[in-house]
Amino acid sequence: MAEDRVDWPAAVSGAGDGAEWETAEQGTEEGDGGWEEDAPAGAASGMAPHLWLVPTPVGNLGDITYRAVEVLRSADAVACEDTRRTGALLQRLGLRRPLVRLDAHTMYRAPQVLEQYPRLAYVSDAGTPGISDPGAELLREALGRGIPAEVLPGATAFVPALVLSGLPTARFSFEGFLPRSGRERRKRLQTIAARPEPTVLYESPHRLHATLLDLADVCTPEREASVSRELSKRYEETRRGSLAELAEYFAQGVRGEIVVVVGGRSGAEDTAPDWEAVAAELAAQGLSTRDLRSALVERGVSKNDAYALALKHR
């Protein structure tokens, strides 16, 4: 199992390891008398409405682009998931703009926000908005109202993780976050296992080990993969190896934001499962006919075949 560790010197990172601006308490909620007082009103700008989705650093402040700073400076307001986090970022950049919270719980306010602030910039907590965050919903709302929208190129976590994995990159699939449990999770895992190209997915630190075990179960323990965490931060780390090796390494837990890259299906894995043996093994665990049928369907057996196998092994 291979590993990369990066220890960024403070002079390179600009903001050290990113922790200072990520955890600073500066910023304001909309309407609490903070930075909004000396910001120009959106309707008074006299310019055509526009929505910008603006990427922000995933950890290293030096990854902000000049264009992103200019858009944030010129927008009527900055909508974001967390006003304290974004307020700290704007302060580090020397910017003073109205901040409006628009996250998964407050996105219902999007029509009013777009009306109040015609030229609106939106940022997520980190990376490019619209990928596994509420930015996509705001974009649809703006387009539905005929408001021109623009997505700036910039920081994202999954592209560096994919390249760092060492796996083929000509084609890949992106899954975002997997469902936490249930049949839908099993279906998504089976889809990942069947793909010939690598799959990139996000995971939380406390669910990483369970997800690696599930992937090893569905994809085979020997499938190549990588786990990247804390990308662009002081303790950036990428580990490569089989799913079994990675599951063992991360069994004791991990911190930071996680990107998992799973290699594509190889020709050596093309042998079809022995469903008779699988059904016999499940039946030996004492499953009822109904539960046995459901378990086989979750593993990819057709409903008719699963029913026949369940009757045979009841």
CATH code of the domain covering residue 169: 3.30.950.10
- For residue 183 the two structure tokens come to 């049949």
| Secondary structure class of 296 (helix, strand, coil) | helix
**Is 136 among the domain residues?**
yes
Q: Which among 151, 171, 203 is the end of a domain?
A: 151
- Same domain as 101, residue 32: yes
- Tell me what pLDDT residue 311 has: 87
Segment holding 93, helix H or strand E: helix 83-93
- Same domain as 262, residue 291: no
- Same domain as 119, residue 97: yes
CA–CA separation, 62 vs 79, rounded Å? 22
- Same domain as 300, residue 182: no
- Same domain as 284, residue 262: no
- Same domain as 256, residue 165: yes
- Same domain as 81, residue 24: yes
Q: Which among 112, 127, 151 is the end of a domain?
A: 151
CB 150 within 8 A of CB 70: no
- Same domain as 287, residue 216: no
- Same domain as 120, residue 22: yes
Segment holding 185, helix H or strand E: helix 182-194
**Is 9 among the domain residues?**
no
**Is 293 among the domain residues?**
yes
| Secondary structure class of 119 (helix, strand, coil) | strand
Domain that holds residue 93: 16-151
**Is 48 among the domain residues?**
yes
Q: Which among 103, 121, 151 is the end of a domain?
A: 151
**Is 164 among the domain residues?**
yes
- Same domain as 260, residue 182: yes
- Tell me what pLDDT residue 59 has: 87
- Tell me what pLDDT residue 29 has: 41
Q: What is the pLDDT along the chain (314 residues), one digit of tens a residue?
A: 766 655 443 333 333 333 344 333 333 344 333 333 334 444 445 679 999 999 999 989 999 999 999 999 999 999 999 999 999 999 999 999 999 999 999 999 999 999 999 999 999 999 999 888 899 999 999 999 999 999 999 999 999 999 999 999 999 999 999 998 888 999 899 999 999 999 999 999 999 999 999 999 999 999 999 999 999 999 999 999 999 999 999 999 899 999 999 999 986 555 556 788 888 888 888 888 888 888 888 877 888 888 888 888 87
CB 4 within 8 A of CB 237: yes
- Same domain as 200, residue 147: no
- Same domain as 144, residue 45: yes
Which positions ≥6 away from 16 have C-beta within 8 Å?
Answer: 10, 234
182 C-beta neighbours (distance < 10 Å), count: 9
**Is 8 among the domain residues?**
no
**pTM attached to this predicted model:** 0.72
Q: What are the CB-based long-range contacts (under 8 Å, 24+) for 180-184? A: 180/207, 183/298
Phi, psi of 145 (to 5 degrees): -95, 5
CB 230 within 8 A of CB 257: yes
**Is 2 among the domain residues?**
no
**Is 74 among the domain residues?**
yes
Count of the separate structural domains present in the chain: 3
The CATH number of the domain holding residue 111 is 3.40.1010.10
